[in-house]
A and B are shown apart, each in its own frame.
Chain A
Amino acid sequence: MALLRTAERTAVSAAPRTSRLGRDFWLGYALTLPAFVVVVGLVAYPLGYAFWLSLQDIKVGGQGQFIGLGNYARLLLDSESRIYGLFWNSVKVTALYTAGALAGKFIIGMISAIILHSQIRARHFWRTLLFIPWAIPAVVSAFTWKWIYNDVNGVLNTLLTNLGLVERPILFLADPKLALWSVLIAAIWQGSPFWTMTFLAGLQAIPRELYEAAAIDGANPLQQYFRITLPLLTPVITVTVMLSAIWTSNAIQYVYILTNGGPANVTETFPLLAYHEGMTAYDLGIASAIPLVFFPIFAILIYFLTRRMLRQEG
């Protein structure tokens, strides 16, 4: 044993750094095996299984029948089927919801980050405060917003009525024109701290000298922002947008709790439609097919993100 180690030491002393520490591949496999089992057994296998389910006509508790791409055809092409309209509606709602949430989180995140990065007093205190929504469980804040929006005794409506601004309560969550906006505001409230954080980290990485030089050249703060800050922040913005696009479009809590997809399906994003089809209509085939239709989009985003993350790790 000792001999082996000495041999190893002399053999690798000239080799590059990482290889200096031996080639214990058995230990390598042993240590990674549990994590590998989790990834394969609980992520890769279910993913494949979802695809297999999506090729079947299968109800909860029933036997599946192989129907090829039948579920996909019903979703995408068969304008006669009930699910066709619901599916394309969910495509539209998901796109609106994701775009709206990303825009809102971008604006609030950017403003917060810029303010937190400037020389304000008690910066640490303000940062702590603005990140609080992240620490609140999403389910909790969804119910809190539902209570704020409530048409009978919700604080928003009581306030508006008492101030004489409205005569009848506004149906924030039941009016088809307003529901998606109301849900968006709650989702933006919870999601913007993540953007603030990444933007703040990005701002801190920009060298101060650039601003000093620009100031000497007479650039005003707005010019400095658009000529220095924004271009240098672009990589951070790109990653944040991609990550948030995946997470936002897949988040189910707000739509489920605030409106459950209603009124008239105006807030039924695709995860919620999949949930309804699988858990209340018991159609596992369709419920598996719905998210898989979106899978290529996520796969592309995940591919680019992974490449970036691995490159960062070096």
Chain B
Amino acid sequence: MAEAIRPVESSRPGERGLILWLTQKNRAYYLVGYLLLLALALWTLFPVYWQSATSLRADVDLFSPTVTLVPRVLTGEHYEKILGPSYPFLRQLRNSAVVAVATTVVSTLLGAMAGYALTRLRFAGRTVLARLLVYAYLAPGTILFIPLFVMMSRLGLRDNLVGLTLAYLTFTVPFATWMLMGYFRTVPIELEEAALIDGASRWQVLWRIMVPLSGPALVVAAVFAFTLSWNEFLYALVLLQKQQVMTAPVGLAAYVVGDQYYWGQMMAAATIMSLPPLVIYLFGQRWVIAGWTAGAVKD
């Protein structure tokens, strides 16, 4: 089906008349394909549009009984409010950034080290370790959150960004290692041999040859570590109870006061916190898709 709905340039509807065009072989599939695509695009974009449109509307407009798909008046009041000093939002964004950056740096570093050793060095237990990493990556967080909660409480790391970063390493380190192992394997071994013969140490080979050659893979590992930590919810919900240390995803729920939802403010906060992963995705698509196919994504 995919192959069959290929258009022929010269037979677009405008040129020959729709009926004739449709009667041609497989044209119907082509038309259905475009209609479905349009429906999928609407379905995909509507919630995103609605989120940003809500964030720019005045409250009167939000709570009016008639639906206006396009805002009548645009206002920045919700953004002004949540970014103001009386709201914890900026602080929570900062917390999110601190945790995501720390997780990214640590997991990419540990991933590069372990990935190198597991692909290039021979030592007993290598295959067992590789297997353990995959197990760890796939282990669901729902089994770990209670014990991690108790452990972090005992260590005094609850309501603490270090504790949360440690929890995030449980999925980012295995992923980064796995991802980099796959890449390191494709790097020609001769370069390292040459360097070793010239008297470089293993350590130097790793940092002077392997890492510079693996730029794209390191970016993929970093992008995913960052996005997964930035978006994470369950561990943050369990480990952070004080508003001052909350990350943005958990803080979002705080716009609910009793039964009263401040939708404008909430959607403004939601729009701001969607931006980093969205921008990374739009500009780094090549890397995102590379990581995706490496099994990086939690859907």
Contacts and interface: CB of A to CB of B under 8 A. Distances in A.
Most buried by A among B40, B124, B293: B40
B208 interface: no
A237 interface: no
A2 B199 contact: yes
Contact of B138 (A120, A138, A306): A306
Given A49-B147, A313-B181, A21 B1 contact: no
A211 B4 contact: yes
Mostly helix, strand, loop or mixed at chain A's interface?
helix
Interface string B9-31: 00000000000000000100100
Interface stretch (A12-20, A70-78, A173-181): A12-20
The secondary structure that dominates the B interface is helix
A284 interface: yes
A34 B110 contact: yes
A287 to B, nearest CB: 5
Interface in A230-275: 243-244, 246-248, 250, 252-253, 256-257, 270-271, 274-275
A142 to B, nearest CB: 9
A108 B40 contact: yes
Contacts of B87: none
A292 interface: yes
Interface in B109-135: 110-111, 113-114, 116-118, 120-124, 126, 129-135
Contacts of B193: 20-21
Given A47-B139, A118-B3, A252 B121 contact: no
- The winner among B3, B114, B151, B249 for most chain A CB atoms within 10 A is B3
A215 B1 CA distance: 10
25 contacts: A19-B122, A23-B121, A31-B114, A32-B114, A35-B110, A46-B147, A46-B151, A49-B147, A49-B150, A50-B144, A118-B6, A130-B44, A133-B44, A137-B231, A144-B270, A148-B47, A155-B50, A189-B47, A208-B3, A221-B26, A229-B1, A250-B140, A250-B142, A298-B140, A310-B130
Interface string B178-210: 100110010001001100110100110010000
Interface in A198-225: 198, 201, 203, 208, 211-212, 215, 220-222, 224-225
Contacts of B252: 139-140, 143
Contacts of B202: 22, 24, 27
Given A27-B121, A250-B142, A132 B278 contact: yes
A39 interface: yes
Given A27-B117, A143-B266, A302-B138, A43 B144 contact: yes
Contact of B123 (A25, A135, A215): A25
Nearest to A46: B147
A196 B299 CA distance: 11
A313 B267 CA distance: 43
B5 A221 contact: yes
A279 B238 contact: yes
| A-B interface, 7 closest residue pairs, ranked by CB to CB distance from nearest | A28-B123, A25-B123, A194-B299, A35-B114, A135-B281, A221-B4, A31-B117
Contacts of B69: 155
B220 interface: no
A306 B44 contact: no
Interface of B: 1-7, 26, 29, 33-34, 36-37, 40-41, 43-45, 47-48, 50-51, 54, 62-67, 69, 110-111, 113-114, 116-118, 120-124, 126, 129-136, 138-151, 166-167, 169-170, 173-174, 177-178, 181-182, 185, 189, 192-193, 196-197, 199, 202-203, 206, 227, 230-231, 233-234, 237-238, 249, 252-253, 261, 263, 266-267, 270, 273-274, 277-278, 280-282, 285, 289, 292-293, 295, 297-299
A135 B278 contact: yes
A166 interface: no
B33 A118 contact: yes
Contacts of A128: 282, 285
A137 B40 CA distance: 20
A313 B143 contact: no
Nearest to B62: A153
Contacts, number: 337
A272 B1 CA distance: 41
B40 A130 contact: yes
Given A248-B299, A310-B134, A139 B114 contact: no
B122 A136 contact: no
Contacts of A119: 5-7
Interface in A296-314: 298, 301-302, 305-306, 309-310, 313
Given A21-B120, A158-B66, 11 more contacts: A21-B192, A36-B129, A42-B170, A50-B147, A126-B41, A134-B281, A134-B297, A135-B277, A155-B69, A256-B237, A257-B253
Nearest to B166: A42
B231 A5 contact: no
A53 B151 CA distance: 11
A313 B185 contact: yes
Contact of A306 (B45, B114, B134, B277): B134
A244 B123 contact: no
A267 B286 CA distance: 37
Nearest to A286: B146
A80 B123 CA distance: 55
A136 B227 CA distance: 10
